[in-house]
Chains A and B, each alone.
Chain A
Amino acid sequence: MAELYPYPRFSIAERDRRWRAVRALMRGQNLDVIVTPQNSGHSADYQANTRYLTHCGGGEPDLAAVFPLEGEVTAIATSAAPRWPTVQDWVSDVREARRNYGRAIVERLKELNVERGRIGITGLGEVEGTRTPEGTIFYGTWKQIREAFPQAELIDATALLDEARYVKSEEEIGALAKSAEINELAIRAEIEAAGVGVKDWEVWAAMHYAMTRNGSELPVHCFWVSGKNPKRTLTRPSMRLLERGDVIINEIEASWIGYRAQAVQPVFVEVINPVQAELIKVQREIFNRVLENLKPGVTVGELAELTRQTAARAAPKSGPAAGARGDLTMHGRGAGDDGPIITPHARSPKQLAVAMREHMVFICKPSAISADGEYICQWGDTVAVTKSGGRRLGKRAHELAVTGN
């Protein structure tokens, strides 16, 4: 066994819990093996299943895994030997792909004698992933498996891994809490760096500095935009100079051993917009009501309806927030591409029907929107579902931030 780097890790007990849970689901579907293909797209979100099962990952390498119902789990990587036995102690069978992952996957599947078996593949494309409606396995990889195993059944195992990953363990929630802590350090750095005349890009750089020096891996998926009244974040900062009255809106995600909590925190430069100052009161009320109701059995659809009702109740009769409405956006948080997801634009019946379970974790970021649609106030934190309602993983005050205070 290689000497392990000083790096945060999950326990062997956590590995065994995951493997037991996934294998129980495999038995239910009569699967002999699951292949989680390499695909480092979308900040490595698309291969989260590989990291979930092998603990190999970080830094956006391509990694695949072969996970049999019985027998040794195999991780497949390029530059395997120097890279991955040093960061994890879950899997000792780490094989060299030299970029030809399909070949290594086929080799391992042959050892497992699944020529006529049922081979599960995550991201096969028959079942929509949260952000991958057409799957994640590359054509060239699929072709090698199909040609090597013409008699085998290839089954889409996306939903199986989704199911296993929906409910987080204490260790996973601990990792997400650490990520949430880093997010809040990053927000603090953002508030400290932002000011009149400062380049938007430099504030963003300061935020990333806080994130990485406090242990976040890269890449991470952070959204950002600044301006007088921006309504939607972009994936990037700009070179514009901040002005008094500007607001930076964001989605900040630090990655702690691959686990990504999220925080949404509007930051105003010197002065808060008066409409937003009123809207945050409605938004806070929505957030708190949703949080209270994050209990096992409640569906995503019911939470969306609760959002609308709460906004109608909480919106004042007069003033800038009069007639404000609410929209719920929430989606799973964890190792990457976690579901379920609900946004004002993506509300599939399947996702709306998902019921809360204890230890599910979400970014909950409802919006309060002014009656004329000109102002959107969004604030969010990562929350865990408990029997008595949701628990925030972040600790910062639920308010609009302002620089210069």
Chain B
Amino acid sequence: MIPQLSIEERDRRYKIVRAEMAKRGIDVLILPANTGRWEQLQGDSRYLTSIGGFATEVFTVFPREGEVTAFIFNRAGWWKQAQKWVSDVRDGRNRWGQNAIERINELGLQKGTIGISGLAGLFRAPEGIIPYSSVQAIQEAFPQAKIVNATEMMQEIRAVKSAEEVSLLERAAAIVEKTIEAMVENANPGISEKELYGAMVHAMLANGGELPTLFFLSGGPGLTNSSFVPTDYRLQKGDRLIDEIEAKYAGYGAQAVCPVVLGAPDDEYQKLIDISRACFDAILHQMKPGVTFGFLFDVYRDTVERAGGGKYLWNHPVMHARGLGDDGPALLGDKDLERFSKIQLQAGMTFILKPQVRPKEGKGRASIGDTVAVTETGARRLGRRELKLIVKNV
């Protein structure tokens, strides 16, 4: 009924997570339900249950020993049949604190160490994703238990993808490219952003894409930024289309940044894209296990300087991990650069690489990007389209 990952993949994940729990003294993990930010914030819960998608809220209790329990709002019966990873699926009606208390009592872990992934420190939700009253209920129910933040633990585990995970991202990247084809085909003067967005959504979904998904699209003269909502603006000759297109397959989101111009681009914009592409190639060439993010950032800076003849600057973000959602490492700003500069790449890490470039003087910025995977011998693109500024003759 839904795309399935193998039981071997489940066992691989459970083994890694339980080993890490043992190392940190965590008896039980709580993985909150929150489908915010296009369901990216619920990546941990889906990672250990394979349940999710289409805004399905899943709250998971994952013991170091014993059966895993998934709480769904009210369709547990269906989920028991729709996936083969978790047999203990219950209707929880979003009473997450009470759900956790019920299961922790069954497990006899009232005095144990409870790790909450999503208590704080997600990349895009540093204040966490678990409601205050859920935490309060758990604290009150188990005054002798110790509550610890397990967010970073899950971020580190999920950062390295298996071959099965990379294959899902590759499938997602193919859906992204079908969506891009629909954009190029339909982007003609007179069409509104909304209509174009609709045609792209249609292509994405008809090819197996899942909702919700991050997908920004804007059109207009001289644009540098895309909007959260497509508007009634009607495209004209000379417009740019700026986008971030993410398609999901089985919850795994690949992304592309694919600017388009209707008619001939101006020289400056083409130059910005060319420099971005040069940075993309240079960074991709250097990506391999053992290389640090700091080094890659140096490559980025040097390439902007060299390819741009000293007239251009780099700009955040250059790259962030892609996967089930809110994946790390994510180089989104200066603080992230400090945090990850000495961290080394590992085989199985996957990123959207989208180096942004802006002129030292004057306005404007541009980027081009694709999802990439680190392998034992280097890195490879998951997309297959020609990575360039698309010029549509109109």
Report which A residues bind B (CB closer than 8 A). 5-8, 39-44, 46, 58-62, 82-83, 86-87, 98-102, 123-126, 131-144, 201-202, 204-206, 208-215, 217-219, 221, 232, 234-236, 238-239, 345
Contact = CB atoms under 8 A, between A and B. Distances in A.
A277 to B, nearest CB: 27
Contacts of A212: 194, 197-198, 201-202, 230
Interface string B196-220: 0111011001101011100110000
6 contacts: A41-B36, A41-B129, A59-B227, A100-B127, A125-B136, A138-B125
A141 B129 CA distance: 10
B129 A138 contact: yes
A239 B227 CA distance: 32
Nearest to B206: A205
Nearest to A205: B205
A87 B208 CA distance: 31
A138 B54 CA distance: 22
A215 B193 CA distance: 10
Given A62-B36, A135-B133, A139-B130, A43 B212 contact: yes
A139 B131 contact: yes
B202 A209 contact: yes
Contacts of A43: 35, 55, 212
**Which 8 pairs show the lowest CB-CB distances between chains A and B?**
A125-B133, A213-B198, A59-B228, A140-B127, A209-B202, A40-B36, A205-B205, A212-B198
B131 A136 contact: yes
Given A39-B36, A99-B125, A99-B126, A209 B199 contact: yes
B302 interface: no
Given A58-B229, A59-B228, A236 B2 contact: yes
A140 B36 contact: no
The secondary structure that dominates the A interface is: loop
B368 to A, nearest CB: 19
B228 A202 contact: no
Contacts of B233: 5-6
Contacts of B129: 41, 138
Interface of B: 1-2, 33-38, 41, 53-57, 73-75, 78, 93-98, 119-120, 124-137, 194-195, 197-199, 201-202, 205-206, 208, 210-212, 215-216, 225, 227-233, 333
Given A5-B229, A125-B133, A218-B211, 13 more contacts: A7-B232, A42-B55, A60-B37, A100-B127, A131-B94, A134-B98, A138-B125, A139-B127, A140-B127, A141-B127, A208-B211, A212-B202, A234-B75
B202 A208 contact: yes
Contacts of A102: 127
A136 to B, nearest CB: 6
A208 B206 CA distance: 10
Contacts of A201: 205-206, 208
A133 B56 CA distance: 17
Contacts of B131: 123, 125, 132, 134-139
B212 to A, nearest CB: 4
A218 B198 CA distance: 10
B59 to A, nearest CB: 10
Nearest to B333: A98
Nearest to B230: A212
A136 B37 CA distance: 14
A205 B36 contact: no
Contacts of A7: 229, 231-232
Contact of A138 (B57, B127, B210, B215): B127
Contact of A60 (B38, B128, B133): B38
A278 to B, nearest CB: 28
Contacts of A46: 36
